[in-house]
Amino acid sequence: MTRRDAVVSSALAASLFGLPANAAAGKLAPIPKPELHASDPEAFWKKVRDHQFLLPPWRSFLNNGSLGIAPRPVVAHVSDYLARYAALDVTEYPRWGYETMDAQRETLAAFVGCRKDELALLHNATEGLSLVANGIDLNPGDEVVMTSLEHPSGKAGWAMRAKRHGITVREVAMPSVPANPGELAGLMTSAIGPRTRVLFFSGIFSPTGWIMPVREICDFARSRGVITVVDGAHMHGQIPVKISHLNCDYFTGSPHKWMFAPAGCGFLYIREENLDRLWPLTVTGDWDNRDMKAGRFMRLGTNNRAIMEGLIAGMKFGEQIGWDRIYARIHQLARRVLERARDLPGILDLATPGDDRMFGALTTIRFRKDPARFWEETRKRKIWTLEGPQVRISTHIHTRPQDIDQYFDLMRKVLG
Ligand SMILES: Cc1ncc(COP(=O)(O)O)c(C=O)c1O
């Protein structure tokens, strides 16, 4: 084996067999065994945090909801692919943007729950949302109904259509804290009016982490002939979800948040019957080649294929840990956040309902007191968190129970 071959195969071997290896990713260790999870789950998760991530022990990271971090095997795959690319030790052009990426789309489609031909690889949820908002035929006066809690990346495309093409956009006010999923569904479905053409909403809200009853809303919208567009940026990897079970028309995702992918890869689901109706946004040759199905929407020009290899490696990493174990762990940590937050009634209010159906791994608190001094202290202690009068706390598998305890102990000390 030449030296180059050794470098090239090192990260792949490492992630598959737990061998030490990659310059960028550091020492790669095997994923801890399920037996350890069964006998001592805290020891299992400590090993995952200590050995599978590059996070130093002094860093407490409570905001992967904005931008997730890739574990070591993913970093290894990305850097490995870049090395192979530089050596041209590949058989196809080492890029995406003109390729159909069938193998990668098959793998992603199996995880997100749709067919490869309904799935376009993109850069992030923002790109998918812009594409859909610009690509649906709408006439002046046609109405798009959305919730009051949409992310700017979701709202902006429709706002631009309103300004440019005279469509109407209406926001439905969401409650301060919802009582149950039915309340959220009712608010959306009862907002459908005679001019409503599109319902747009997040599957999990960015500001609050509430899970929307997507299926219920989409079933109703479909019965009224209304198109549904779901911003799924926070869904896959945070909760188990299969797109084909949602009955929606369009769905976008940002796998860097919860699926262990590096930033720069996203996806758009286009339901089969919509493939010929949607206009692409960025175009090159084959933009109108209907035989390509969803593939014609990902012809974006030369792009970094290493990032897509990282996406696949992230899914594999999740599989090796066990997705069900992951969902259960990150929800358990979110529950710990709720319990700790409930102990501080004079300092904050909870925006997360206690109903387990309504949150995954995102919890939200609202401060009753000015939190400025608390933010100063969190920064000093290298706690990476959102700041503001309302704060969303993200718990992923690299979150340690003591990160949560430290956060609330500090809050009590500073604001109590
Ligand atoms: C609900 C929601 N939609 C869309 C986005 C945009 O995601 P990205 O920046 O990965 O495109 C975010 C980002 O936080 C989000 O929370």
pLDDT for position 221 = 98
Asked whether the beta carbons of 270 and 294 are under 8 A apart, the reply is: yes
How many angstroms separate the alpha carbon of residue 200 from the centre of ligand 1? 14
pLDDT for position 4 = 42
Ligand 1 site, residue 385, Cβ cutoff 6 A:
no
Pocket test for ligand 1, best of 67, 147, 151, 214 (most atoms within 8 A of CB): 151
pLDDT tens-place string over residues 214-268:
999 999 999 999 999 999 999 999 999 999 999 999 999 999 999 999 999 999 9
How many angstroms separate the alpha carbon of residue 260 from the centre of ligand 1? 15
pLDDT for position 308 = 97
Quick one: which H or E segment has residue 367? strand 362-367
Pocket test for ligand 1, best of 67, 122, 126, 250 (most atoms within 8 A of CB): 126
Q: Tell me which residue has its CA closest to atom 16 in ligand 1.
A: 206
Report the topology of domain 95-312: Aspartate Aminotransferase; domain 2 (3.40.640)
How many angstroms separate the alpha carbon of residue 153 from the centre of ligand 1? 6
Ligand 1 site, residue 234, Cβ cutoff 6 A:
yes
Atom of ligand 1 nearest to the CA of 129: 4
Structural domain spans, the chain: 95-312, 325-415
pLDDT for position 21 = 59
Tell if the pTM clears 0.85, that is, is over it: yes
Domain 325-415 has CATH 3.30.430.20: no
Low-confidence ranges of the chain (pLDDT < 50): 1-11, 13, 15-19
Query: Do the domains spanning 95-312 and 325-415 agree at the CATH topology level?
Result: no
